Amino acid sequence: MRNKQFIIILIGFLSFFSTSCIDIVEELWIKDKNGGQAFFRIEANALGGLINFAGNYIDNEMFNKIVASPNFIAKNLSKIKGVSDIQAVNMLKSGTIGIKFKYKSTKALNRAYYSILNQKKRLYYPSIFKINANRFKKMDLTKYLRNYLTKNKDKFKSDELLQLVNYKSIYHFEKEIEEIKNSAAIKFKSENAVIQNCSANDLLNTEINLGNIIKY
């Protein structure tokens, strides 16, 4: 799985803002009938500095690709049946860029996920998500992300930068959560949601599982 836009953004952030933590966030709101809302984003406290220092530290081509990425993804998502209310989020000053949308079915969500990865969902491709009335399943993408980081490690100025990047998944449910299979994930005490975090460094060097099965 490859995402050229994601690679461009991530390398740009890591290269020039190595003093701040960067979160790659995957957040879903799952409705009873398998539809819901999604918000995929990158958050960084120092992202607002990108505007002020772009001229000195980032060439125009890199900067333009970073800024245009949410609109590029939104355009691709607009072609997917069952995906609506698409919103490109480009809030550089507050430190967030990403994409929001609603999906009518699990099939639409899977197609959207592959589109964000700059791929078209084929019949023989595995489903990232499997959702029914009582169970949510997320495929473990660890090996794909690990392969990406390993192949592109030479593009990072320092291995220490990988400690500053966190992959975070947040899933909200309408029904009461009964069981969480992945012990690394925890339930929010204040709301009916599950969250899981891991650093890019842990992804490379530890036996971690990014998949999960949640029963409700």
Rounded Cα distance between 126 and 160, Å, is: 33
Helix (H, G, I), strand (E, B) or coil at 100: strand
- Please state the pTM of the whole predicted model: 0.81
Quick one: pLDDT at residue 78? 96
User: Residue 176 carries which DSSP code?
Assistant: P
Residue 180, pLDDT score: 95
Say what the pLDDT of residue 74 is: 95
Residue ranges for the chain with pLDDT beneath 50: 1-2, 13-14, 16-19, 49-50, 52-58, 157
| Pairing between β-strand 22-30 and β-strand 212-215 as defined by DSSP bridges | unpaired
Chain centroid, CA 8 distance in Å? 14
Q: For tokens 């952030």, name the residue.
A: 13
What pLDDT is stored for residue 115 in this prediction?
A: 92
Whole-angstrom Cα distance, residue 214 to residue 74?
29
CA atoms within 13 A on the CB side of 98: 19
What pLDDT was estimated at residue 57?
A: 41
